[in-house]
């Protein structure tokens, strides 16, 4: 059984919708367990116990949200528990979602994950095609976790 940790921050629900869609995509694959957590609730044990990861953030001031940055800062001392494992990222924004995605890519890159790309950057509330894309990303992540 592979454990997939999906971590997100969301104030108005846009990023949360993508997080749920990634989770639904993961659930298309058998032999995986999904753990969906808000960034502020994530512990180093959650990170160490997972086999793959998805991180989602709204764009705040053009970069990842403070909650997501704090979470990365907190787990940084435990980054070796994430290194080499599959990870993907997703963002929403009002125009700066791609910049926020690149920002997370740079920070999470210091943890040396096995990237599952491309990530998803959605403007505004996710539409049906964005939900489908997020589900596909979740499915790809789950398959990568199982093929380790
Ligand atoms: C404090 C704050 C700062 C924001 N700054 C930006 C920004 O610089 N660029 C941008 O594209 N969107 C910005 N936004 C808009 C959000 O990224 C966008 O509405 C996002 O989809 C919200 O996601 P959520 O519903 O998951 O919270 C900001 C929102 C907030 C609350």
- Count CB atoms within 10 A of the CB of residue 93: 21
Ligand 1 pocket member 38 (CB < 6 A): no
Ligand 1 pocket member 65 (CB < 6 A): no
Q: In terms of Cα–Cα distance, which of 35, 38, 36, 33 is closest to 8?
A: 38
| CA-nearest residue, atom 3 of ligand 1 | 60
Read off the pLDDT of each residue in 16-36 and give the average, rounded to a whole number: 98
Structure confidence at residue 127 (pLDDT): 98
Structure confidence at residue 111 (pLDDT): 98
Q: How far is the CA of 85 from the centre of ligand 1 (A)?
A: 29
Distance CA 103, CA 105 (A): 5
Number of domains in the chain: 1
pLDDT digits (tens, 9 = 90+) for 36-91: 999 999 999 999 999 999 999 999 999 999 999 999 999 999 999 999 999 999 99
Q: Is 24 in contact with 57 (CB distance < 8 Å)?
A: no
Range of the domain at 18: 2-146
CATH number at 39 reads 3.40.50.360
**Phi/psi at 82 (nearest 5 deg)?**
-100, -25
What does the block give as tokens for 55?
A: 């991180």
As a whole-number percent, the residues of the chain with pLDDT over 70 amount to 99
Q: How far is the CA of 122 from the centre of ligand 1 (A)?
A: 11
pLDDT digits (tens, 9 = 90+) for 93-106: 999 999 999 999 99
């Amino acid at each position: 059984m592979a454990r997939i940790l999906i971590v997100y921050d969301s104030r108005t629900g846009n990023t949360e919708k993508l997080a749920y869609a990634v989770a639904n995509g993961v659930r298309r694959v058998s032999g995986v367990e999904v753990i969906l957590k808000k960034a502020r609730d994530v512990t180093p044990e959650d990170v160490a116990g997972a086999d793959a990861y998805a991180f989602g953030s709204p764009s705040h001031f053009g970069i990842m949200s403070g909650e997501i940055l704090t979470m990365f800062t907190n787990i940084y001392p435990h980054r070796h528990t994430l290194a080499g494992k599959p990870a993907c990222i997703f963002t929403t924004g009002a125009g700066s979602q791609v910049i926020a995605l690149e920002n997370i890519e740079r920070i999470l890159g210091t943890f040396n994950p096995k990237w599952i790309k491309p990530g998803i950057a959605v403007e505004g509330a996710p539409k049906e095609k964005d939900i489908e894309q997020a589900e596909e990303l979740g499915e790809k992540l789950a398959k990568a976790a199982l093929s380790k």
